[in-house]
Amino acid sequence: MKKFLATLLALVMVLSLVACGGGGDDTKTPDSSTPSTGDTSTPSTGDTTTPDANPAADVKVGVILIGDENEGYSYAHIAGIRGAQQNLGLSDDQIIWYYTIPEDETAYDKCVDLADQGCDVIFTNSYGHQSFAQQAAAEYPDVTFVAMTGDTALASGLPNFKNAFTEIYEARYVSGVVAGMKVKELVEAGSLKDSNFDANGNVKLGYVGAFPFAEVVSGYTAFYLGAKSVYDKVVMDVRFTNSWFDVTGESEAAKALMAGGCVIIGQHADSTGSPTAVQAAYEAGDTVFCVGYNIDMLAAAPDAALTSPTNDWSVYYTYAIETIINGGEIMTNWAEGYDQGAVAITALGPQAAPGTAEAVAAAEAALSDGSLHVFETSKFTVGGQEVTSFLARDTDGDWVNDTDEAVFDGYLHESYFQAAPCFSLEIDGITKLN
């Protein structure tokens, strides 16, 4: 027993050595130490030395992400928040991050935990986090919760629960213009095969969609209309993967679309599965190209990628956090597009048709100044008829829209009554394959 105690004592001494060593020569320690250590650089609410002149120093932001920096969608949000941090001069310890939070009760626990840690505003970035964020919002009325890409804030009636979405369909329309320019070039050069045309002589486009939700439908319809605005004789096939991120599924969907004769494959799914498959087909000698999403796809498809529609979330995050700092209230539904610089397309690929840059610039300018609207009712038909009425919002929770007429002034107002896209019409020329 004595021997044992001696060993124990020795081990305790080793421990204390390690502990002291850690404190002594690790220069990073002060940065990562907990606020309770009394470090003067950390803002604490009771600290009288904190100057009131800079309220930004007091704000605390909580972030709940479905993924981490390895996944394109969450990466874009991380970049957006980092951008806002830079714009507003926030320090690292003013932002608390929770990565890879699933869309289940864990999201609620994290929301509550962040509120409990004194966060003034808490963002969740995935649709499935929404009902958990709403629950936390009901329990913490002094904290603002924002469910990004969500759609129940207005209906919930909670003053501290918000939704935000970019008008990404505008960027998808512009990426459609890029695709249309390419189709036009290919047709004029005579480089398409018979299988690339349908029975009526329309060129076939393809689209890999995640879920058959309005936000996906809105996106691919915008893409299709963008292409059609340049080259009228196009049709489009859509395949769904039923997952936001599925490398294999997206690759298979793209292969199936190419096998069906589709020339350009767009996507609303988060992986590089589709561009990689298109690049492989391109290298095998097929005339196929792709339009990505979120990130520049030139790394995955150096020849086949034309461009990608992308979000600049920093526009929203800067607005939201700044509003909180100034003691204001964030808009319940925020949706901005080209006019605020919240959406864009990435650099054009080397294979983009000549004149594309000019066409893109013209479309972007027209979308910015409001002279062009993506869903102009004269530009598409449903069952051969022009659309005269479409309700934009659901108020009773049955997922069937029942209020807010969106068709007026000659176009369907997307993301007008609420941030999340509402366009769910199946227009002529687009075929859902599954």
Partner 1 sequence: MSTLERKKDPFIRISKRSEGMSAGKAWGIRVIGLILALIVSAIVIFVIVRMNPMDVYASMWKGAFGTTKRSWITVRDTMTLLCIACALAPAFAMRFWNIGAEGQVLVGGIVTAACMIYFPEMPTALLFLVMIVSSLAAGAIWGLIPGFFKAKWGTNETLFTLMMNYIAIQLTAFFVSLWENRPNSRKVGIINQNSKEGWLPNMFSEGYNNDFGWNVLIVLVIATVVFFYLRETKQGYEISVVGDSENTARYAGIRVSRVYVRTMAISGAICGFAGFLAVSGSSHTISTSTSGGQGFTAIIIAWLSRMNTYIMLVFTLLIVFLDKGATQIASEFNLNEYCSEIITGIILFFVLGAEFFVDYRVKFRGSK
Q: Which one among 57, 79, 112, 247 touches partner 1, defined by CB under 8 A?
A: 112
CA end-to-end span of the chain, whole Å? 73
Rounded to a whole number of angstroms, the minimum distance from the CB of residue 132 to partner 1 is 6
Which range of residues in 12-20, 164-172, 199-207, 319-327 is near partner 1 by CB under 8 A? 12-20
Number of CB atoms found within 10 A of residue 42's CB: 17
Q: List the interface residues with partner 1, window 91-110 (CB under 8 A).
A: 96-100, 102-106, 108-109
Q: How many CB atoms lie within 10 A of CB 381?
A: 14
45 binds partner 1 (CB under 8 A): no
Between the CA of residue 285 and those of 265, 289, 292, 297, what are the distances in Å?
Answer: 16, 12, 20, 20
Using the contact rule CB under 8 A, the part of the chain among 13-21, 159-167, 168-176, 322-330 near partner 1 is 13-21
Task: Give bridge partners of residue 165 from the DSSP assignment.
Answer: 335
In the complex with partner 1, the residue whose CB is nearer, 93 or 404, is: 93
Residue window 305-344: x/- pattern of binding to partner 1, with contact defined by CB under 8 A: ----------------------------------------
Determine which residue in the list 69, 116, 283, 369 makes contact with partner 1, applying CB under 8 A.
Answer: 116
**Token digits of residue 217:** 């439908």
Among 124, 130, 267, 272, binds partner 1 (CB under 8 A): 130
> Which 168-197 residues touch partner 1, going by CB under 8 A?
none
Pair 139, 112: CB distance under 8 Å:
yes
Distance of alpha carbon 326 from alpha carbon 229, whole angstroms: 43
407 in Cβ contact with 389 (< 8 Å): yes
Question: Residue 157: left (phi > 0), alpha (psi -120 to 50), or beta?
Answer: left
Amino acid making up residue 156? S
Concatenate the DSSP letters of all residues of 145-174 into one string.
Answer: EEEET---HHHHT-TTEEEEEE-HHHHHHH
Query: Is residue 141 a contact residue for partner 1 (CB under 8 A)?
Result: no
Q: Which stretch binds partner 1 (CB under 8 A): 206-214, 262-270, 284-292, 323-331?
A: 206-214
Residues of this chain that bind partner 1 (CB under 8 A): 8, 11-12, 14-15, 18-19, 21-23, 26, 28-29, 32-34, 96-100, 102-106, 108-109, 112-113, 116-117, 127-128, 130-132, 134-135, 139, 211-213, 242, 399
